[in-house]
């Protein structure tokens, strides 16, 4: 299935049914009075997060989504039938934005989360609502209201705890294969990864985290070089970034330090918030380097923009287990800190008032 992570759609809620003016007509019953029923409500359009859906591809090819109109009222006090709602199932992590106003309508971060996109119209009133002691034969009725119409931008931001960042062929896909069951494409040419891949890293029976591999960045991505910045949105929800650097480039003249700083410059151009996330330096392909410790020390002397560093070989697995344990420990600490902050924000209950 082709991976699609953004799309534009239009949603049309149904119009409410019209109320009618009707009078009871039966044999032997004179002046039966008003009996016009109300119109039914129009169908609304909802979005629901579904963990079984991984891409927005369905919304790339079907852009218009309409709910049905409510039925009009009928005589004999019969109300019109309300239309069924339309539920659009989307991947968890989808952000829905109103194109015209720029308002973020919903961020579907949890499986099963449901949000209203377009409200259906209200049914009109029949003439039974207008009868009174002075108006016993009302001929008034109201029309149903129109349903809402919206143009929406759908943007998928994958949900992952850890994001991989680096140049093409830095070994990101090899690393995610080494530490998880994910099997992204690996080859000896740039841009083998064309869409994000997710892998679940299980550290123990009860502890695990999700890691995201995105296509590689190159210098000039902000100007559209390579695949551009378009996939960096998938790192927005991560808690820590792993900056993978190929410490043993295949070709002469490639400077790993220059490439590492180039990645950071592109990250900063895209989003300062993303740049400010905890960022660990991962020096990969240590198995291809002679005197690895000296090579690592020389690199760290010139490149200093990182929080922690690890030297690994993704192809052989050397150092990968220690790295995953450190990541898990870091994530657990972050979650505990977030819980403490949340507990302080919630005001304490005044026992004396109970």
State residue 299 phi and psi, 5-degree precision: -65, -45
**Given a cut of 90, is residue 67 above it in pLDDT?**
yes
Residue 86 pLDDT more than 90?
yes
Q: How confident is the model at residue 351 (pLDDT cuts 50, 70, 90)?
A: very low
Residue 122 has what pLDDT?
93
The mean pLDDT value for 268-280 works out to 86
Q: What is the mean pLDDT of the chain?
A: 82
Nearest to 269 by CA among 210, 225, 206: 225
Quick: pLDDT tens for 114-169.
999 999 999 999 888 888 878 888 888 899 999 999 999 998 877 788 888 888 77
Q: Per the structure block, which two tokens stand in for 189?
A: 């040419």
For tokens 């850890």, what's the residue? 162
pLDDT band at 227 (very low <50, low <70, confident <90, very high): very low
Give the pLDDT score at 148: 93
pTM above 0.95, yes or no: no
Does residue 36 register a pLDDT over 90?
Answer: no
Tell me, letter by letter, the H, E, C secondary structure of 105-148. EEEECCCCCEEEEECCCCCCCCHHHHCCCCCCCCCCCCCCCCCC
- pLDDT greater at residue 191 or residue 341: 341
CB 235 within 8 A of CB 274: yes
DSSP state of 299: H
Q: Domains in the chain and their CATH numbers? A: 6-156 (2.70.210.12), 162-343 (3.40.50.300)
Taking the CA atoms of residue 299, residue 303, residue 305 and residue 309 in that order, the dihedral angle to the nearest 10 degrees is 0
């Amino acid at each position: 299935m082709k991976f699609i992570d953004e799309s534009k759609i239009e949603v049309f809620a149904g119009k409410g049914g019209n109320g009618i003016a009707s009078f009871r007509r039966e044999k032997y019953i004179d002046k039966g009075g008003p009996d016009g029923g109300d119109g039914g409500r129009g169908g609304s359009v909802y979005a629901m997060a579904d963990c079984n859906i991984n891409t927005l591809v369905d919304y790339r090819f079907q852009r218009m989504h309409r709910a049905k109109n409510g039925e009009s009222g009928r005589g004999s006090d019969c109300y019109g039938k309300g239309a069924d709602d339309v539920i659009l199932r989307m991947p968890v992590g989808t952000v829905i934005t109103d194109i015209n106003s720029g308002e973020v309508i919903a961020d579907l971060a949890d499986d099963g989360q449901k949000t209203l996109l377009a409200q259906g119209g209200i049914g009109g009133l029949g003439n039974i609502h207008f009868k009174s002691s002075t108006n016993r034969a009302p001929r008034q009725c109201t029309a149903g209201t129109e349903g809402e119409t919206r143009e929406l931008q759908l943007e998928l931001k994958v949900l992952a705890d850890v994001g991989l960042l680096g140049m093409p062929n830095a070994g990101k896909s090899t690393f995610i294969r080494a530490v998880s069951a994910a099997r992204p494409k690996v080859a000896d040419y740039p841009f083998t990864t064309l869409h994000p891949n997710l892998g679940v890293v299980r550290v123990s029976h009860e502890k695990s985290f999700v890691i995201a591999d995105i296509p590689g960045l190159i210098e000039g991505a902000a100007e559209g070089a390579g695949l551009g910045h378009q996939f960096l949105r998938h790192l927005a929800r991560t808690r820590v970034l792993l900056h993978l650097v190929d410490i043993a480039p295949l070709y002469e003249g490639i400077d790993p330090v220059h490439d590492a700083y180039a990645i950071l410059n592109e990250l900063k151009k895209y989003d300062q918030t993303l740049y400010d996330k905890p960022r660990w330096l991962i020096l990969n392909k240590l198995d291809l380097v002679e005197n690895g410790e000296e090579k690592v020390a020389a690199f760290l002397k010139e490149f200093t923009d990182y929080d922690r560093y690890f030297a690994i070989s993704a192809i052989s697995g050397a150092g990968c287990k220690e790295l995953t344990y450190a990541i898990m420990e870091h994530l657990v600490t972050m979650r505990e800190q977030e819980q403490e902050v949340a507990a302080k924000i919630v005001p304490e209950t005044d026992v004396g008032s109970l």
